[in-house]
Amino acid sequence: MFNKVLIAEDHESSNISIRKALEDFGVLSNDYVYYCDDALTRISHAIRSGKPYDLLITDLSFDEDDTPQKISSGTELIKAVKEFQPDIKILVFSAESKPATIDNLFKELSIDAFVRKARRDVTELKLALEAIFNKKTYLSTELRRSIQLSNTYEFKEYDIVLITSLSKGMLQKDIPGYLEKKQIKPYGLSSVEKRLNYIKEALNFTKNEQLIAFCKDIGVI
């Protein structure tokens, strides 16, 4: 069984339920915090005291309040934690449903499990704990399917720059100047046009508006 588990979750209601789920699952020792900064402190202390945590359960979005934080999101927390303790297991418990975001958690941050706050979330939490304990990863089949669907086109860094610029209201004809200033190549207007056309072609879209809507939906911008 897990020896030490840390919960980083700002919502009191979720925090309570996670604790209860851990209890039901048979985890004896767990700590909980409401802020990312506190989580990082606890983890570094635990390492120094020779009793590191096995598992971090964390939310992704943390509300801001009148206690200013250095780390303000779950993804930042995970990155920071992994620098201290690369082998710690990570379970993300979040309301996030955008496929691209979830996909990135596994690929970039190599988390071990993702459970969406939803109908059967506590049941899924326990399944995820079980999976992690058996050195596997966990993602509900429902979410796994939606990730596959959204992976029709792989957005490059360059694509994201273009699409983000458009979504901020930049004129297409002004993008070349912007790219040049940022030393991003290619920066010719034709290349921008060509690339955008290529993306839209690949996704079977005709208009920029459609592309923006899609990217927002899957969470790449």
Residues in the chain: 221
Segment 126 to 165, residues that bind a second copy, using CB under 8 A: none
Instruction: For residue 160, give both structure tokens.
Output: 């994201």
Shortest Å, Cβ 214 to DNA: 15
Segment 159 to 178, residues that bind DNA, using CB under 7 A: 171-173, 176
Count of residues in contact with DNA, rule CB under 7 A:
17
Nearest partner of 89 among 45, 49, 121, 134, judged by Cα: 134
Per-residue burial over 91-129, b if 16 or more Cβ lie within 10 Å, else e, is: bbbbebebbbbbbebbeeeebbbbbbbeeebbebbeebb
Shortest Å, Cβ 172 to DNA: 3
Q: Are 58 and 33 in contact (CB under 8 A)?
A: no
Q: Which residue in the set 8, 36, 39, 196 belongs to the binding site for DNA (CB under 7 A)?
A: 196
Nearest partner of 96 among 84, 105, 86, 108, judged by Cα: 105
Select 21 or 90, whichever has its Cβ closest to a second copy.
Answer: 21
Q: Which does 117 bind (CB under 5 to 8 A by kind): DNA, a second copy, none?
A: a second copy
Select 26 or 188, whichever has its Cβ closest to DNA.
Answer: 188
Instruction: State which H helix or E strand residue 160 sits in.
Output: helix 157-167
Q: Which does 167 bind (CB under 5 to 8 A by kind): a second copy, DNA, none?
A: a second copy
Q: Is 171 in the site for a second copy (CB under 8 A)?
A: yes
Select 66 or 154, whichever has its Cβ closest to DNA.
Answer: 154
| CA R_g for the chain | 20
Provide the binding-site residues for DNA, judged by CB under 7 A.
171-173, 176, 185-191, 193-194, 196-197, 207-208
